[in-house]
Structure 1
Amino acid sequence: MIVAPETRDLEELAARLVHWLSGRLAGATGIAVTDLAYPRGAGQSHETVLFDAHWSQGGRDHSQGCVVRIKPGAFTVFPDDLFDEQYRVMKLLAQESDVRVARPLWFEEDPAVLGNAFFVMERKRGRVPVSIPAYAREGWLHDASPDQRRTLWRNAVAQLALIQRVPVSRLGFLAGAAGTGLAQEWDKYRRFTAWLEETAPQPVLRDALVRLEAAWPAHDPEGLVWGDARIGNMMFDDDFRVVAVMDWEQPSLGGALHDLAWFCTLGETMHGRSSTHGAYLEGMGTRDETVALWEEIGGKSAAGLEWYEDFTHFKMTCTGVRLGHLRGTPTMDEAAMRRRLKVA
């Protein structure tokens, strides 16, 4: 059985949102919520619903495209609850950076409204390179010209690099019990492994942790971690320019190189010359080109990136094991996992 994030009756959700908005829009009349829909290719950890809000206020009619993102209940992909933090990160980025994010509008802590905490952000309009079906095999990016893909790639890497220009001093609320830097991300995935072992032993993951720790990198530049850095979490306009950087559900102050490593690893997997999807997209930058552009715009060195790419494979494997458990489907066999994680 395939498990997905919680879903609900959208007509009932509309009625609840109308009632809730009446308390948020002072003096508004004629509040209506229309065109509710679950987005195509939505994420696997949060229930996310698109809608349009309409109201009259101060003698004028208003309309706002919105997205409601609801804190997960039973379907939890990650051990850490960072729901409040993702809202705060997006709010800070929207107000104080050049990173293009959807503007957060309201946060609701009371679970009585929708069954759990939620927040509403503005809805951006554009296109997303989806994973199912794989964007390298079909769809608008597959059908684009190499020059258009080049524009998309440059814009995506520029946004990735601009994340590293956000002062970490403004993000102190992300500091974890293990502190900041690589130690914070390491602690998160060490605990992730222990969490997975509550369901089944994970000898390969344990061996991989030993191997990675023995090769601990010397270069650990500070920086904000987006958490799922890929073009599939970016929205683009018709000119192939970034409209929004999305899905901030696992942010941290773990360091600058985690997102770059994730971005490069996913790029090679999805559309690079070694793509496992069997499709190379001409115009998308190579790993080396991505690193060079990221360093140029972000102003930080990517020295030692190879270790972070190995750590990326470890992180992805942890997430894959967890999703396999939630869906009731087998994960990759032990031999394949050992090859992926480079452990004997």
Structure 2
Amino acid sequence: MTQELRPTPSLDAPDTVRLSLQDWLTESVYPNRKLIIPAIVIPENTGMSNITLLFDCVLDDQETMPMVARLQAQGDKLAFPEYNLPMQYAAMEALGKISGLQLPQLVAQEPSGEILGTPFYIMQRCDGRIPPDMPPYHMDGWLLDASPADRKALWNSAISMIATLHAQDPTAAPLAGFVQQYNFPKSLDEQLRYWEHYMAWGLEGAHNEACEQALAWLRQHQPEEQCLRLCWGDSRMANVIFDPTKNEIAALLDWEMLCMGDPLQDIAWWIFMDEVFSHGIGIPRLEGFPDIDTSTQLWSTLSGHKYDKLHYYRVYAGMRISLILARMSLATDGSMVEDSFASQYTLKVMSEKN
């Protein structure tokens, strides 16, 4: 994935946004404190989904609180047809109540769009390191300097936390209220319908033969879910903040693709995203990261779920990331709309024996 494939949504009048955030936080969250936001920073390569702002809140001229704001992006070439930031906020609120799950500490949300012209929410900024996805962490970044043992520990800590998520009953507290209140895909059939619509919307009349073949194959071989669980959706290394002092997780990020489905799909996405940005682009995986069998067996042991449909859900992962890359490519040069390394790798996985 190149930088051109991931244009960062723009922010008009950043200083006006800074002052508006400063006033809103003072009034809504810290009414009896003197609050100043000295500056805001828009990190590069934050994708097409939301605008991310980094800033410090200085309280009473002495206490500094690092924060992150996520603003809903506007435009006609965004990665997804619709966004629901209040749903993401509510999901993190519910998930944050589960022992063993690490989520960012939420501060507040403004869902109406009246303050900044678009909905947003604010979180405390977590200390830690995030594996890069541009260039992929197998090519660049701090994981190159990590030992094989540390890479294994980091990987397994993430698998363990994903298993903790998948052990939760979505019909019980604290997830039941969230699941009942919000509208999002809640079965494999609903997910496939979403991606059929996504392909028609996202490609804007173009055709990606590999994605069309994969989607037809997924319909033809559609299995019954072993159970329904709340799934992270975008479960990958680049959405994990790792504690800088130990091989543990500080926070799981980015819940915009959450859904209900067979929990195996999260592990399949994790695996496919790792392999497509290594083997799929012709580079070796870093030593120490566990292989597919070891990863799925660990997840199965910890979560209690089976992984006999892993092949199906790897193809499902490939179809989704191929369509997302095609959509993102429309915002730049269009070179990956009809074909890409991801769609070709998806066909390769689809051709493997189940």
Q: Do both share a fold (TM > 0.5)?
A: yes
Moved more, 33-42 or 112-121: 33-42
Q: Is 1:292 matched up with 2:328?
A: no
Q: Following superposition of structure 1 onto structure 2, how do residues 111-150 of structure 1 map, counting pairs within 5 Å? A: 111-150=113-152
Match of 2:264 among 248, 257, 263: 257
Match of 1:186 among 186, 192, 213: 192
Q: In the alignment, what sits opposite 2:18?
A: 14
Match of 1:33 among 25, 37, 42: 37
Q: In the alignment, what sits opposite 1:67?
A: 68
Secondary structure of residue in 2 paired with 1:134 = coil
State TM-score, norm by structure 2. Answer: 0.87
Amino acid at match of 2:10: E
Q: In the alignment, what sits opposite 1:153?
A: 155
Q: Are the aligned partners of 1:102 and 1:122 in contact in 2 as well (CA < 8 Å)?
A: yes
Q: Following superposition of structure 1 onto structure 2, how do residues 145-224 of structure 1 map, counting pairs within 5 Å? A: 145-169=147-171, 170=176, 171-173=178-180, 176=183, 180-202=186-208, 204-224=210-230
CA distance in 2, matches of 1:133, 1:237: 21
- Listed one character per residue, the Cα deviations across residues 235-268 of structure 1 (whole Å, up to 9, x for unaligned) are 1122221111111112111331211110011222
Amino acid at match of 1:116: T
Change (3 A) 1:249 1:221: same
Q: Are the aligned partners of 1:180 and 1:253 in contact in 2 as well (CA < 8 Å)?
A: yes
Change (3 A) 1:144 1:275: farther
Q: In the alignment, what sits opposite 1:281?
A: 286
Moved more, 334-343 or 30-39: 334-343
Q: In the alignment, what sits opposite 1:248?
A: 255
Match of 1:328 among 314, 333, 336: 333
Q: Is 1:237 matched up with 2:243?
A: yes
Secondary structure of residue in 1 paired with 2:145 = coil
Amino acid at match of 1:282: E
- Listed one character per residue, the Cα deviations across residues 165-220 of structure 1 (whole Å, up to 9, x for unaligned) are 2321224247647x622122212111112213544345543333222211112444
Q: Are the aligned partners of 1:137 and 1:277 in contact in 2 as well (CA < 8 Å)?
A: no
CA distance in 2, matches of 1:223, 1:104: 23
Unaligned runs of at least 5 residues, structure 1? none
Q: CA deviation at 1:50?
A: 0.9
Change (3 A) 1:277 1:34: farther
Q: Is 1:267 matched up with 2:274?
A: yes
CA distance in 1, matches of 2:345, 2:259: 28
Moved more, 5-14 or 199-208: 199-208
Q: Are the aligned partners of 2:214 and 2:315 in contact in 1 as well (CA < 8 Å)?
A: no
Secondary structure of residue in 1 paired with 2:96 = helix
Q: CA deviation at 1:153?
A: 1.1
Change (3 A) 1:173 1:20: same
Moved more, 327-336 or 92-101: 327-336
- Listed one character per residue, the Cα deviations across residues 257-306 of structure 1 (whole Å, up to 9, x for unaligned) are 211110011222345xx363513211111111110111111121112111
Q: Are the aligned partners of 2:296 and 2:307 in contact in 1 as well (CA < 8 Å)?
A: yes
Moved more, 217-226 or 125-134: 217-226
Q: Are the aligned partners of 1:98 and 1:162 in contact in 2 as well (CA < 8 Å)?
A: yes
Q: Are the aligned partners of 1:184 and 1:253 in contact in 2 as well (CA < 8 Å)?
A: no
- Listed one character per residue, the Cα deviations across residues 295-325 of structure 1 (whole Å, up to 9, x for unaligned) are 1111211121110101111101110111011
Change (3 A) 1:335 1:84: closer
Secondary structure of residue in 2 paired with 1:29 = coil
Moved more, 289-298 or 261-270: 261-270
Moved more, 198-207 or 227-236: 198-207
Q: Is 1:314 matched up with 2:315?
A: no
CA distance in 2, matches of 1:281, 1:183: 36
CA distance in 1, matches of 2:212, 2:284: 33
- Listed one character per residue, the Cα deviations across residues 138-186 of structure 1 (whole Å, up to 9, x for unaligned) are 3210111111111111111111211212321224247647x62212221
Amino acid at match of 1:145: S
Match of 1:82 among 81, 84, 93: 84
Q: CA RMSD in A?
A: 2.5
Q: Are the aligned partners of 1:225 and 1:251 in contact in 2 as well (CA < 8 Å)?
A: yes
CA distance in 1, matches of 2:289, 2:15: 42
Q: Is 1:5 matched up with 2:9?
A: yes
CA distance in 2, matches of 1:174, 1:136: 40
